[in-house]
Structure 1
Amino acid sequence: MQFIVVKKKNIVTWLALFVVVLIGGFLYFMSTESEPAFGFLQDSKSEDVRDIHMITAEFTMTMENGKTMDAYRWDPGSIFIEKGEKVNLKIYGINGSEHPFYIEGTDIRGTVKKGEETVVPLQFDKEGVYKIVCTIHQGEHHQAPMIGYIYVD
């Protein structure tokens, strides 16, 4: 009979220790500066700014007649932002020496240079589709315009 009582005390002790470690681990991870992977654990601060990363990319194709065709693009070509959300669009120049750009419907202009990162703070008050357009790679003299799309809803 005494043997059974000792086992029950050990089980209760181990269970209590497990609960303390579980609660301690949860409190530790909640107190760190890292962002949780699950949205319901995240503290929703109005000053949170989301980073969206984009690059400049180039594609070259040789056609059957031997002529080459180049196409530049923003990659990803489409991004999605909530109305009123604060975003840092971080564009890194990979291909092309520079890409002067503007975002239609805004006063935002800038230049992405090869080997550098350009940070564009964004916050849209109106829903819609906004185009980010490279001024060098647009128009009739380029086979494929360099246009990206920012969807705001």
Structure 2
Amino acid sequence: MAFIVIAVRLKASQKPTNARKILIPPLGMSTGFLMFVVPQTHVPWLFAALAFLVGLLFAYPLIATSRMFVEGEDVYLKRSPAFILVLLGLLVLRMVLHTYVEQYVSIPQTGALFFILAFGMLLPWRIAMFREYRKLSRNMEVEPATSLRESEG
């Protein structure tokens, strides 16, 4: 599965991005919180908070290896060559953590904690991407107007 995700992410970077493509994944993933309707997935708040904080830490390498650039009138996501290594490293780290956490909580609770971790990783990464996208989009809107005013003067 991890290799499929990496292949899809690399292929997606060949197409222009937009706000919708950036924001839909965390919105879609947020529906997974419905799992907490089932009592077997309930975890202590402290565990959930720690899982989210670990996700925030895991988000940093993703943010650091993802940059956007403008080509023509489109914004593209450019990943550094380290992006694949970061994803693989995070996968290995999550697998090791999974084995450790599974000793202390049930399998449904382990799944719930790792869902929270993944959401904690995805959300800040996508917010950072969206902020950079908005900044580049605004610059694209301002530049043509500026060059028009300069040519009139």
* TM-score tier (shorter): under 0.3
The structure that is helix-richer by fraction is 2
Give me the TM-score of the superposition, normalised by structure 1: 0.20
Give me the TM-score of the superposition, normalised by structure 2: 0.20
**Which structure has the larger Rg over C-alpha atoms?**
1
